[in-house]
Structure formats: structure tokens, C-alpha cells
Amino acid sequence: MKKLILAITILFSTLSFAQNSLPKINVTSVDGQTVNTSSFTNDGNPIVISFWATWCKPCMRELDAMAEVYEDWQEDLGVKIIAVSIDDSRNSGKVGPLAKTKGWEYDVFIDQNQDFKRALGVNNIPHTFVLDGNGNIVWQHTGYALGDEDELYEVLEKVAAGEAVN
């Protein structure tokens, strides 16, 4: 254990101590196609990645709230929202129909083995990431309280303008 702490301490001086780039992981589209997360691009505009599940009520509230303003966000800032469901086989078949009937215009993917969730260090859902135009993770948030989408919009404005967040 002492060695572990020592090694980590040494590492901090040289390492990039945070999640900067998106891990390259295979996820599944709602029509069953394998897609690598390296294809998550948006022509130099910001991307929002939101982890959710059909059984997670705060997640649904967040995605519903963003759906109401998504058109504006796309027009104003060119934002793309990617919704990654961690549903397993109990509910994974409901993900596509649910997104469609809710009118979510997001790119929806399923991370059934939770490889993408683990690679990004997500503990609990909802968990939302913001990527800048270069695909770097510049902001993240865990949990959802009603109205959080307003703060997210403020973050996206800064990111779209090339300003530093935080």
C-alpha cells in the first residue's frame, strides 16, 4: 500500500491527472449496430454525453428537459446531445421505442456491459459530460436537479466561445 501511494505521488507530477480525452469503447446503437465512441464528433462544436437508464427517473427528467430546448441549443451553439443508456437486457429493448415516442432527437446508444461507463469513471446516473470542439472533456456533473439544464447551457455557451470552463 505504501508503494502504491508513493508511485501515485510520483505520477501526479508527470501525469495528466484527469479525464481529458474520450475513451475509445464499443457501444451499441438502438438498431443493434456496434459503434465506437471515437466516432462521437460534431464538426468542432460542443457535445453533451448523458448517461441514463429507462428506470432512472432523474435521468428521464434531465433528458426530457433538454429535449424541450434542444432545437434552440442546436441553433444557438451547434450542440449535439448523445444519450448513453446503461440498461441491461431487462429494458434495453425499450430504449429505442422510448426515445422515439418521447421525441428525443438525440443520438441514443446502449452500453450494456457498462464498458464506457466504467472507462469514464461514472459511479451513479445521471452523469453528464461536456466535450469541447476538439473532443476534450471539459466539464462533468453527477445527478440532476430540475433546472440544471440552465447551468449546462451556460457551460456550453462558454465552451462554444472557446472560453475556459470553471
Partner 1 sequence: MKKIILGLIALFSFTGWSQTQTINTGELHGNFQFDGQLYVRDSILDPNKEAYPDEKFLGQGFMNLIYTRGGFTAGVRYENYQNVMIGFPQGYRGEGITYRFLQYNTHGLDVTAGNFYEQFGSGMILRAYEERGLGYDNVFDGARVKYSKNGVTVKGMIGRQRKYFDKSSGIVRGVDAEVNLNELFSGMSENKTLITVGGSFVSKYEPDNSPIYNLPKNVGSWGGRVNVQRGGLGIYAEYVYKINDPSSDNNFIYRPGEGLTFAINYANKDFGFMVSGKRIDNMSYRSERNAQQIETLINYIPAGTRYHTYTLPALYPYATQINGEQNLQVEFTYNLHKKTVLGGKYGTQLFANFAYAGSIYKSKIDEDTDIGQTGTDGYDTEWFKLGQVKYYQDFNVGFKRKLNKKWKMTFTYLNVQYNFDLLNKGLRDEVMIKKTPSIIYLNEFVLEMQYKIKPKHYLRFEVQGLFSEQDSVGRAFDELGAGSMVLGLIEYSISPHWFFSVQNIYNFGNPNENFRLNYPFVNVAYSDGPTRIQLGYGRQPSGIFCVGGVCRFVPASNGLQMSITSNF
Q: Which of 2, 32, 161, 163: binder of partner 1 (CB under 8 A)?
A: 32
Q: Which of 143, 141, 15, 57 is nearest to 154 (CA)?
A: 141
User: Least Å distance between CB 50 and partner 1?
Assistant: 14
**Nearer Cβ to partner 1, position 23 or 78?**
23
**127: helix, strand or coil:** strand
Q: Which residues contact 162 (CB under 8 A, 6 or more apart)?
A: 133
Q: Toward partner 1, which CB reaches closer, 35 or 77?
A: 35
- Contact letters for partner 1, residues 54-93 (x by CB under 8 A): xxxx---x--------------------------xxxx-x
CA 43 vs. chain centroid, Å, equals: 17
In the complex with partner 1, the residue whose CB is nearer, 63 or 78, is 63
Q: Which of 63, 122, 125, 159 binds partner 1 (CB under 8 A)?
A: 122
* Residue showing cell 440544471: 148
* Residue 39 makes contact with partner 1 by CB under 8 A: no
Alpha-carbon distances, residue 150 vs 63, 74, 107, 155 (angstroms): 13, 15, 21, 9
Whichever of 26 and 42 has its CB closer to partner 1, that residue is: 26
